[in-house]
Structure 1
Amino acid sequence: MFDAVLRRRLDGPLASVAGRIDRSWVTPDRLTVSGLALGLASATLAAGQLWGWALLAWLLSRALDGLDGPLARRRGTGRGSPAGGYLDITADFVAYGATVVGVAVGTVGASAPLTEWLPFLAVLLAYYVNGTAFLAFSSIAERTGHRIDDGRSLSFLGGIAEGAETILVHSLWLLVPAYAPQVATVWAGVVGISAAHRIVTGYRTLREPSPGT
């Protein structure tokens, strides 16, 4: 919901940081992989109930994730290479899912009854449906001329649950793990609504004639 506004406000600062780290051995893909590694580390730390370190690793992970695009654009690759865009979105989904599992293990425990896992399973299901909706749209939109070009590698349909909200919620349950199940319950509902909105919007968009016809 806030991604477009935040991108406009952060474009300048992120471009500045990208300029500072622009060295031959620093590549957009390496930033993406480093961000993924820190995301997985955050999930592991959360599972071990090391909440402060998990939060730090999570925020550093997302910072690196935000820098791969500006660095790619600085080097004249436009919205990034197809391979880089693929790697980026895949890394995001792995980091998001792993963090949900890590927080669940750290708060309710791996051997907890299924009922205590339900809020986190609901988040994973909502992520699955939401991701399917926008990735399927992006693939078909690219082929049919309905592409949404906002500078990113994929065509992103807007929603109330986007990257900024995900970073905030994942930070929140690392800050207050005692309330993580309640946060997960609310968040699953928000992501579910966002998924439904994307399904309807994507269907309506693809029913319209292609802008090129």
Structure 2
Amino acid sequence: MLDAAARRVLDEPLARAAAVLDRPWLSPDRLTLAGLVLGLGSAVAAGLQAWTAALVLWLVSRLADGLDGPLARQRRAAGSPGDAGSGGFFDITADFLVYGSTVLGVAIGATRGSDAPWEPFAAVLLAYYVNGTAFLAFSSIAERAGRQLDDGRSLSFLGGLAEGTETIAVHALWLLLPAVAWQVAWGWAAVVALSAAQRMVAGYRALR
């Protein structure tokens, strides 16, 4: 829901930061890999209840993830070789791995030594699964049907209540307030599930 507004605010600063980072040894895929490693580190730290470290690693991971796209666009604009298809595939795969891992890490850390239930986090993972299936299926079929939604990203991305900006904020909130993480998880699972239903309806209508 907030991605379009966030991109309007952040696109220019991220492009400037990517220009500063533009060095021959630093490729967009390496930035994606850095985001992946940092995100997995955040999940491990959360599982160990090292909440401050997990929060820092999470935010830096998402910053790296936000910079790989601008760097790739700058390289293409400058005529540098690169494969947007493989880069986009790596990026979305890394995102799914990081999101799922951090939910698991928070679930382990938040329920260890307490009476906090694990079910809300399982509900979040299920909602992520359905939500991801809906927009990835739409992107694939829309490509074949010539009905892509081009907003500069690698995939035809159906908007919804739960997008990347909201995901970053909620995961950060878990790490800031682990004592109430399971309550937040119930609410987030409901929002993601509603977003999945919204994407299923919108995708079906768009492809009719």
Same structural fold, with TM-score higher than 0.5 when normalized by the shorter chain? yes
Match of 1:147, SS state, is: coil
Question: In the alignment, residue 132 of structure 1 is paired with which amino acid?
Answer: T
User: 1:140-151 counterparts in 2 under 5 A?
Assistant: 140-151=141-152
Q: TM-score, normalised by structure 2?
A: 0.95
Alignment of 1:106 with 2:109, yes or no, is: yes
Residue aligning to 2:69: 69
What is the Cα deviation at residue 82 of structure 1? 0.3
Residue identity in the other structure for 2:69: G
The equivalent of 2:170 in structure 1 is 169
Distance in 1 of aligned mates of 2:132 and 2:46: 24
Mapped to 2, the partners of 1:140 and 1:7 lie a distance apart of 26
User: What is the aligned partner in structure 2 of residue 210 from structure 1?
Assistant: none
Post-superposition Cα deviations, 1:47-66, rounded to whole Å, max 9, x if no partner, equal 00000000000000000000
Contact 1:73 1:80 in 2 (8 A): no
Unmatched 5+ stretches in structure 1: 208-213
* Paired residue type of 1:65: D
| 2:57 is the counterpart of 1:57 | yes
Work out the CA distance in 2 between the residues paired with 1:192 and 1:167: 17
Matching of residue 9 in structure 1 with residue 29 in structure 2 = no
- 2:83, 2:57 → 1: CA distance? 25
Structure 1 residues 43-97: Cα deviation after superposition (integer angstroms, max 9, x where no partner) = 0000000000000000000000000000000111699610000000000000000
In the TM superposition, structure 1's runs of 4+ consecutive aligned residues that sit over 3 Å from their partners are 77-80
Identity score, percent? 64
Q: What is the CA–CA distance in structure 2 between the aligned matches of 1:185 and 1:74, rounded to whole Å?
A: 40
SS of structure 2 residue aligned to 1:116: coil
Aligned to 2:202: 201
Aligned-partner residue type, residue 88 of structure 2: G
Matches within 5 A, 1:130-149: 130-149=131-150
* Partners of 1:193 and 1:46 in 2: CA distance: 27
- Residue 46 of structure 1 corresponds to 46
Secondary structure of 2:154's aligned partner: coil
The alignment partner of 2:165 has SS state of helix
Q: CA RMSD in A?
A: 1.7
2:188 matches 1:187: yes
- SS of 2:117's equivalent in the other structure is helix
The number of aligned residues is 205
1:95 aligns with 2:98: yes
1:117 Cα offset (Å): 1.1
User: Which letter maps to 1:150?
Assistant: D
Query: How does 1:122-137 map onto structure 2 within 5 Å?
Result: 122-137=123-138
Say which SS state the counterpart of residue 75 (structure 1) adopts: helix
- Report the residue type matching 1:140 in the other structure: I
Bigger shift: 139-148 or 71-80? 71-80
Q: Decide whether the 8 Å contact of 1:45 with 1:54 is kept in 2.
A: yes
Residues in 1 aligned to 2:95 and 2:160: alpha-carbon distance in whole angstroms = 17
Q: CA deviation at 1:112?
A: 8.1
Residues 166-209 of structure 1 deviation map (CA, whole Å, 9 limit, x = unaligned): 000000000000000000000000000000000000000000xx
Q: Secondary structure at the match of 2:76?
A: coil
Q: Paired residue for 1:211? A: none
Cα contact 1:2–1:162 (8 A) shared by 2: yes
1:8, distance to aligned residue in structure 2 (A): 1.5
